[in-house]
Amino acid sequence: FDSRAPVDIDAARMDLSDDDREVIFSGSVVIRQANLTLNADRVRVTYAKDASGNPQVQRLDALGNVRIAQDTMRASARTGYYDVNARLITLLGGVKMDRAGNQLSGERVVWNLNTRTSSFDARTAANPGGRVTGRFTVPDKKN
Amino acid sequence: MASRPTPSSLSPRQRAALPGSRHEALMGQLKWLLPALAGMLALAILVWPLVAAQEFSFLLAKDQVAVAPERLKVTRAEYRGKTAAGEAFSIIAGTALQRSSADPVVELSRLSASIDDREGPSRVTAPKGRYFIEEDRLEVSGPVQLRSDGGYRIDAATVQVDMKRRTIRTDAAVSGATPIGDFRANSLSGDLAGKRITMVGNVHLRIDQRRGRGSR
């Protein structure tokens, strides 16, 4: 997954503070990068500037009705956190993921954009015994 | 009539008093000459001012005199001012025109306003603009080039530049480049150096991490 691909962001409002190297988007934010699409109510983008001054996006914090989609994977959660350099998206709070028919849910999911794998964890401070639930649809074998 | 004494027997005075004498003739002439002279003099007084060619005379008609419509017209004008923080700014224009002293607005063409401060130079250039002297506000129109070291370019119809507070604002649709990427929005406000910007109304930003900030 090319984490240096251009990032296109659409929103109702944007507040940029170059000194803090931070841009806050609010109002049905849609972020697209390569084949990843992220929707949220509010997204905070933090970036750094490389030697020649090019902005390098470091991190996206998505808050409220977070939905991500990549190829056949759809997921939704309350908040999300995309570490661009590590190519990881962490979804937190009532995560539901649907991958080509397989539904999984949990409290915390780490989705790897490169390997397209996800690791689920349902334990939270409030519910240490939380269980991950999942339903897999197995295509019937033609024998 | 009594006999006429012969002129020789009279005294010179009596002779002079005889009818037809030299005095008599003189008086006769003067009798018509003097009124004639007076008449001619009166005529001359009347006619002479009209007849004589006047070297220079004019009648100042307030409306026919060529009046310059504007109060102040300057070519290659330069206006210097101070911002709230005390930094000097200057506005250079091809032509600067103030219609009348009543309205403190100077219409500029081919203008470029520049401010140098600790964050580096910021420059606003535009084909046309109006400068509101009392408010120290510059309203620039036409494709506005707003350059600052932050790589901040605005292509907007009209931009309001507040020189005192070094902020800019545009309410119409605007596009351009910010330190982080190309953008498009319904309205924009921010500081001149491009360090703090707010955009409202279907904002689109493209962060191009490879080809550099804001380059097309």
pLDDT at position A39, please? 95
Residue B3 lies in a domain: no
Q: What is the pLDDT of residue A24?
A: 95
Same domain, B83 and B21: no
In terms of domains, do B89 and B128 share one? yes
Query: Chain B residues with CB inside 8 Å of A9's CB?
Result: 203-207
Report the chain A residue with the minimal C-alpha distance to residue B194: A18
Q: Where residue B142 sits, what CATH number does that domain have?
A: 2.60.450.10
Tens of pLDDT, residue by residue over A62-114, are 999 999 998 888 999 999 999 988 888 899 988 998 988 888 888 888 888 88
Report chain A's mean pLDDT, rounded to a whole number. Answer: 87
Instruction: Indicate yes or no: pTM above 0.90.
Output: no
Residues B71 and B100 in one domain: yes
Q: Would B155 be classed as within a structural domain?
A: yes
Same domain? For B117 and B29 the reply is no
Nearest 5 degrees, angle CA A120-CA A124-CA A127?
Answer: 120
What ipTM was reported for this prediction?
0.81
Residue A25 and residue B213: Cβ atoms within 8 Å? no
Q: Which is more confident, A85 or A140?
A: A85
Tell me, yes or no, whether B44 and B77 share the same domain: no
Please check whether residues B22 and B120 belong to one and the same domain.
no
Domain count, chain B: 2
B41 with B77, same domain: the answer is: no
- The confidence score (pLDDT) of residue B41 equals 92
Assigned domain for B208 exists: yes
Give residue-wise pLDDT tens across range A28-44.
999 999 889 999 999 99
Q: Show the domain range for B131.
A: 58-214
pLDDT of residue B215: 39
Are residues B33 and B122 both part of a single domain?
no
Regions of chain B short of the pLDDT cut 50: 212-216
Does residue B201 lie in a domain region?
A: yes
Choose, out of B154, B168, B180, the residue to mutate when testing the contact with A (most A CBs < 10 Å): B180
pLDDT at B16: 74
**Is position B5 within any domain?**
no
pLDDT on residue A143: 65
Same domain? For B157 and B187 the reply is yes
Asked if residue B206 belongs to a domain, the reply is yes
Q: Tell me, yes or no, whether B122 lies in a domain.
A: yes
Q: What is the distance between the alpha carbons of residues A1 and A112, in angstroms, rounded to a whole number?
A: 9
A140 DSSP 8-state letter: P
Give chain B's contact residues with A (Cβ, < 8 Å). 150-151, 178-181, 183, 185, 190, 194-213
Whether B207 and A16 lie within 8 Å, measured CB to CB = no
Residue B189 lies in a domain: yes
Instruction: Give pLDDT tens digits for A102-114.
Output: 888 888 888 888 8
Instruction: Please report the pLDDT score of residue B149 as a whole number.
Output: 64
pLDDT at B99: 83
Separation between Cα atoms, residue B196 and residue B167, nearest integer Å = 10
Query: Do residues B47 and B63 share a domain?
Result: no
Q: Are residues B117 and B177 in the same domain?
A: yes
pLDDT in tens, B44-65: 888 887 776 666 666 777 777 7
- Predicted local confidence at residue B140, as pLDDT: 86
Same domain, B118 and B152: yes
Is residue B47 packed enough to be buried (19+ CB in 10 Å), middle (13-18) or exposed (0-12)?
exposed
A6 vs B209: CB contact, 8 Å cut-off?
yes
